[in-house]
Amino acid sequence: MSTGRNAVCAAGLAFFLLAGCSPKPASMEGEAVIKAEYTQGQIMVIAATERNRYQNVYTSQLWQVQADAEGNTFEEVLKDQMGRFLVELATVDQMAEEQEMELTGQEKDAVNALSQEYYSGLSQGDLDYMDVSLDEVEELYLMYYRADKLAEELTRDQDLEVSDAEAKVIDVLQIQLETREEAEEVLAEAQAEGADFAALGARYSGDSQISRSMEWSEDMDALGQAAFSLEQDEVSGIVEQDGAYYILKCSNAYDQEATAERKELLAREKKSQAFRALYEPYAAEHQVVLAPDVWDSVDFAQGEGCTTDNFFSLYRSYFP
């Protein structure tokens, strides 16, 4: 089970603009300190969501697993990530307040409907663990929506387009061989009329994973460059990389579904980068902090009946 700090950061929290492994803010002596105003119930909503998102996959055994070189447990690392998320969310909300960001009546109604659906879906075990009210849930969703809206408005005029070519995903079959002599023999078989490339891979490849999905990038290695130069069902020549020899066949020259998903992901990343360029100078001048005892009453070993993990995913179903 992979439970290191990178695993936590890779999954991140769901605030698509700011989530991830941002460095801890430097100490800013002399700057005004703004205390993030969250209720304990709101803290527990975020804590329960992330706790259950991992626990539902890895079981509760992971919380005391050492997660980094400093000896921190997985629970401690995840709480640190959640703390950074909450600080960033409060900082963006402060930005929105200073810019007099207002929500329309329609937007407020939509957030209210979202809050009602989330809250009505909580079990008694969820409520016992989180001890949160509907009003607290709605205020947290409003805060999240304001941050989302601010980021949208501040990056609206920037070039955030992602082309199909930039996001392109293809599928290839790959045979890995140890020597060029062997590769030349297998290539001759692969180029023969009616050759079954997958069967050749199963017979000869030193890597049992024959089918691979590949993403286009500007800095592709030799294998990537060779793969993306192929037409549908075309077989490559011999590609040498890292002391091994490869033969490729393009099994899908354009994975439409995977390309669309990657295009959406790259667009979100571009938006995140564009907004961070505006957020970071502001955050450098406005030190937002959580209460020092914010996690004291949050125990991941408790709340056996709490399984809710859809706070963020439900939001995205309302506001894609």
**CA nearest neighbour of 81 among 9, 2, 6:** 9
pLDDT at 32: 67
**pLDDT digits over 264-280, tens only?**
899 888 888 899 999 99
**pLDDT digits over 227-272, tens only?**
999 999 999 999 999 999 999 999 999 999 999 999 989 988 888 8
**pLDDT digits over 110-138, tens only?**
999 999 999 999 999 999 999 999 999 99
pLDDT at 16: 43
Task: Using a pLDDT cut of 90, give the percent of the chain over it.
Answer: 78
pLDDT at 45 over 90: yes
Q: What band does 211 get if pLDDT is binned at 50, 70 and 90?
A: very high
Residues of each domain in the chain carrying CATH 3.10.50.40: 169-253
**pLDDT digits over 154-206, tens only?**
998 888 889 999 999 999 999 999 999 999 999 999 999 999 999 999 999 99
CATH tag, 169-253: 3.10.50.40
pLDDT at 320: 85
As a whole number, the mean pLDDT across the chain is 89
